[in-house]
Amino acid sequence: MLIRLFFKRIIKEPVQSRYLMLLQDNQERYLHIYVGEREGETVASWKESIKPPRPMTYDLISSILNLSDSIVLTKILIDGCSQDIFYAKMFFNVNGEEKVIDCRPSDAIAVGLRMNVPIYAEACVLEKYGLVII
């Protein structure tokens, strides 16, 4: 079963050069995913509506996809985790046929946020790794 997640925030860790991305379901559970510094800064600048002087890679990918009527990004799925490494897939409709690409969650989310597509997690991932923050 898939559970819809919503991007909540991105937090820069003060000691390490990484970011913590928080995604939330509609039951107050959070999925926290650590991402690299560059990926985190890209998502943070998008969240703050900061436009870089030149398009970033995720902006370029989104622009290319927006040019095509035959390739449509339909959803992002976080579908696994092993040794604290999350796994994701991007789902596309290509001329009416579903195609799936394996990718890092940070890349999928960065593109997905720009294209306003839904983000999901497998229920088993959220049950095992989801946190309730009080």
- Tally of structural domains, the chain: 1
pLDDT at 50: 87
Q: Are 134 and 85 in contact (CB under 8 A)?
A: no
Q: What's the pTM?
A: 0.90
Total residue length of the chain: 134
Pinpoint the alpha helices (H) of 48-104: 57-67
Angle value at C-alpha 15, between 12 and 20, nearest 5 degrees: 30
17 pLDDT more than 90: no
14 pLDDT more than 90: no
- Identify the domain containing residue 63 by its residue range: 2-132
pLDDT at 104: 95
Phi-psi region at 96: left, alpha or beta (left = phi > 0; alpha = psi -120 to 50): left
Strand arrangement, sheet containing 71-82: 97-103, 85-94, 71-82, 119-122, 2-12, 18-24, 29-36, 131-132
pLDDT higher at 16 or 7: 7
Whole-angstrom distance, CA of residue 90 vs CA of residue 113: 12
2, exposed or middle or buried, with CB in 10 Å at 0-12, 13-18, 19+? middle
Tell me the per-residue pLDDT of 67-126, one tens digit each, with 9 for 90 and over.
998 999 999 999 999 998 999 999 999 999 999 999 999 999 999 999 999 999 999 999
Residue 131 has phi, psi (to 5 degrees) of: -120, 145
Q: Tell me what the pLDDT averaged over the chain comes to.
A: 91
CATH number at residue 62: 3.10.690.10
